[in-house]
A and B are shown apart, each in its own frame.
Chain A
Amino acid sequence: MKSISFRRRATDRIMKTLFLLSVFLVILPLFLIFFDLLWKGAKELKWSLLTDLPRPVGEPGGGIANGIAGTLTLAGLAMAGGIPLAVLSGIYLAEYGKGVLASLVRFAVDLLAGVPSIIMGIFGYVLWVLPMKRFSAWAGASALAMIFIPIVVRTTEEMLKTVPVPVREAALALGIERWKTTLFITVRTASAGIITGILLAMARILGETAPLLFTALGNQFWQTGLDQPIAAVPLQVFSYAISPYDDWHDKAWAGAVVLILMVLVLSIGARILTRERS
């Protein structure tokens, strides 16, 4: 057998090294970002960050407590509307979805998933801010819901489809009505997957900034009502980051640490849930 020529072997080596290098280059920013978050965020990472209201520039202390409350409020509102809508639509698509309506809905969901989040902000603005003539939590939450819904419809449908048909048939053969079979057998079997989808979608909307810029707007104080402007951590990070003040830059980094922790807990939680299932 002829041995592989030096040139061919060298090319093979070089290409392998280049591929390995690209893995490093892809992953490197992740470590840089986490390192910088901890390094620069540490300065302002104190207890008061989580409990205090923002203070004017120059005054020490102050936190983003209203932003944390606002982010949770916005996500909560978006999910309160989004979960039933998205999960039931997902059930329809997976269990009954064969006709024209189903193809149209699938197309719409695909389309929604591709729409940039800033455009969902315009949606919230036109739907709420224009008629009410003020920025509000409702507007922000509607924009977030539009991002949340397509993700959850899709994962719900996909997860339900992984439940084997014989499971449904077995239930039906026992004389269980179809709707009960769907809700208490099929959906329950797929529940871990559906919840994973919900958690991932939640992680996604927690960090969204663009759709909130001209819907929720932000607020220096505690929210007074859902029809009023409301603070959110991503908005605070943004406005601190583009401000000209060094101590606000420190706050931006600290806020970013809080934000990434919220997102990571959800993403990793979702991952653990999926792993336990399989």
Chain B
Amino acid sequence: MNSRGNIKDFLFEKTTALFALFVLALTLLLFALLVRESLPAIRKIGASFVTNTTWDPVLEEFGALPFLYGTVVSSFLAILIALPLGVGAAIFINEFAPDWLKTPVSFLAELLAAIPSVIYGLWGIFVLLPILRDHFMKPVSRVLGWIPLFQGPVYGPSMLAAGVLLSIMIVPFILSVSREVLATVPKVQKEAVLSLGGTRWEMIRIVIGQHCIPGIFGATILGLGRALGETMAVTMVIGNRPDIVLSLFQPGYSMAAVIANEFTEATGDLYLSALVEIGLVLFFLTIVVHLVAKLILNRMVPEARKGAAR
């Protein structure tokens, strides 16, 4: 198949190439605009931007560390909850569930992934927050309030609430990628363990230990990437207070949330530029995480991800 000798074929190929080039140009433009608008802040604030803990737009003091901290902590909390649930559910669906159950369950998980994040936020404010506050945070604080992780007054909006809500949002991704990873295990190996008299659980333990750890790690990182950039749901439940506190029951703030909340109010060029710089940092953070996940998964699941791999 070649396009030589036919002018129309040549034109068609070059037209599609032009559009593809345009997509590439858009990506570069996105990056260039972020850098251009961050430059004033980068020049003026320098490295203290990511080490300073004070965010005071009125005094033009812009330290983004509280947001970095909030983003990272809420995301890790989300992973901590979502990982065992997602992998556990994937194992049940793939290894134990009867065939007729597989389609509906994965359909429901897909629905969970399709719910817009503002609806998660709405539900978070009016349903999840009161439940967490009254049935988890208050009792825990009464008994274990002396532990730094659970210290302080209980309001509701908190790092914990953000982590829990995020975990609900990323669990479908961890679930579906874990299922893909589990499906790559050669059937012979599973049958080998079973035929030696192993129980199902022993089979799973051995096979996962041998085969699936890197893939599940990739799934985790992919979920982490989602959580880091999630905006609306986090904004609505994290409490939006730019402090670094160890207690998970206290309000925090995240990078995406501060951009969402303060962008339209940003008076002054430096303020706006500092917010765009937060966006730039978030951009790099999510991209590195996303590419690492891809790299791992492409190696692990070549069949399922052929399209994206090349």
A residues adjacent to B (C-beta < 8 A): 1-2, 4, 8-9, 11-12, 15-16, 18-23, 25-27, 29-30, 32-33, 36-37, 40, 84-86, 88-89, 91-93, 95-97, 101-102, 104-106, 108-123, 125-127, 146, 149, 153-154, 157-158, 161, 168-169, 172, 177-179, 182-183, 203-204, 206-210, 213-214, 217, 234, 237-238, 241-242, 249, 252-253, 256, 259-260, 263-264, 267, 271
CB atoms of B105 and A33 under 8 A apart: no
Beyond A26-B86, A108-B24, A114-B291, whether A178 also contacts B264 by CB under 8 A is no
CB atoms of A89 and B9 under 8 A apart: no
Number of A-B contacts (CB under 8 A): 285
Of the candidate stretches B45-53, B58-66, B211-219, B255-263, the one touching chain A is B255-263
Query: Smallest CB–CB gap between B259 and chain A, Å?
Result: 5
CB atoms of B92 and A85 under 8 A apart: no
New A-B pairs, 11, CB < 8 Å, besides A116-B256, A256-B122 = A15-B201, A23-B105, A27-B105, A88-B19, A92-B19, A96-B16, A116-B229, A126-B276, A210-B117, A259-B119, A271-B107
Query: Smallest CB–CB gap between A64 and chain B, Å?
Result: 13
Beyond A23-B105, A92-B17, A179-B12, whether A111 also contacts B291 by CB under 8 A is yes
| B39 CB-CB contact with A under 8 Å | no
Beyond A88-B16, A122-B279, whether A18 also contacts B88 by CB under 8 A is yes
The A interface is mostly helix, strand or loop, or mixed, namely: helix
The B interface is mostly helix, strand or loop, or mixed, namely: helix
CB atoms of A249 and B126 under 8 A apart: yes
Question: In chain A, what residue has the closest Cβ to B283?
Answer: A119
Give the complex CA separation of A37 and B122 in angstroms: 10
Give the complex CA separation of A8 and B203 in angstroms: 12
Query: Smallest CB–CB gap between B170 and chain A, Å?
Result: 11
A-B contact pairs, 28 of them (CB 8 A): A4-B197, A11-B199, A26-B109, A26-B172, A26-B175, A33-B115, A33-B119, A40-B126, A88-B19, A92-B16, A105-B20, A108-B23, A114-B225, A115-B287, A116-B282, A120-B30, A121-B259, A121-B263, A122-B33, A125-B263, A146-B30, A157-B307, A158-B307, A179-B9, A234-B118, A234-B232, A238-B118, A256-B118
Residues of chain A contacted by B263 (CB below 8 angstroms): 121-122, 125, 213-214
CB atoms of B33 and A123 under 8 A apart: yes
Other-chain contact of A237, B97, B122, B228, B306 (Cβ < 8 Å): B122
Query: Smallest CB–CB gap between B6 and chain A, Å?
Result: 6
